[in-house]
Structures are given as structure tokens and as C-alpha cells.
Amino acid sequence: MNLKILLARRISRRLAHEARLLRRALRDHQRQETARIRKLDFRSRGLRLYAAWGAANGTSKVIKTHAEDWHQAALLRPAQEIAVKTPSAA
């Protein structure tokens, strides 16, 4: 009978220890994810402010697009740069 009790106590302690380790690992992971999300949020806020500041000064290099025509704006800019760099055949 004592052997069963000793084994049960040992297993119980081991399970409690593993649970503590898993809780700590989960808590650390959640902290890292929260820090990563906060960092990305600060960066996006800064970029929005930069774009608004550039638009207010008239020196914005941000291309204003709609969700459906982003690919056209992305292709239009390099095409304009190539046209400016190549001399016209006149």
C-alpha cells in the first residue's frame, strides 16, 4: 500500500512540474506575440502619420490606390520610370 502512495505522489509532483513548465512557456510565448503585435502596430501608425504628413506638404511619394487597382499602380510606376530613362525615337 505504501508503494502505491509513493508512486502516486511522485507522479503527481512530476505532472505538477510539467504543468508549471508548460504554463511558463505559454506565458513567455504570449508575451513575445504581444510584443511583436505592439511593434507592428507602432510601425503602421508611424507610416500612416508619415503618409499624412507628406500629403499635407504636397511631397508625398505614396501612390494612392484602391483595393482593386493596386496591381495597375504597381506596374504603372516602373513603366513611367522606364519611359523617362529611354530617349524618344523622333
For residue range 30-55, what is the model confidence (pLDDT) as tens digits?
A: 999 999 999 999 888 888 888 777 77
73 and 65 Cβ atoms separated by less than 8 Å = yes
pLDDT, mean of residues 4-33: 95
**Residue numbers of the domain that contains 29:** 1-58
Q: For 66, which DSSP code?
A: -
Identify whether 78 is part of a domain. Answer: no
Judge whether 48 lies within some domain. Answer: yes
pLDDT of 75: 64
- Torsion over CA: 40, 42, 45, 46 (sign): negative
Q: Is the pLDDT confidence value at 24 over 60? A: yes
When pLDDT is cut at 50, 70 and 90, the band that residue 2 belongs to is very high
Assigned domain for 72 exists = no
Q: Is residue 89 part of a domain?
A: no
DSSP code at position 58: T
Counted residue by residue, the chain has a size of 90
Amino acid at 23: R
10 falls within a domain: yes
- Residue 49 domain-assigned? yes
In a domain? residue 82: no
**Tally of domains within the chain:** 1
What span, in angstroms and rounded, lies between the C-alpha atoms of 49 and 79? 28
Query: Is position 29 within any domain?
Result: yes
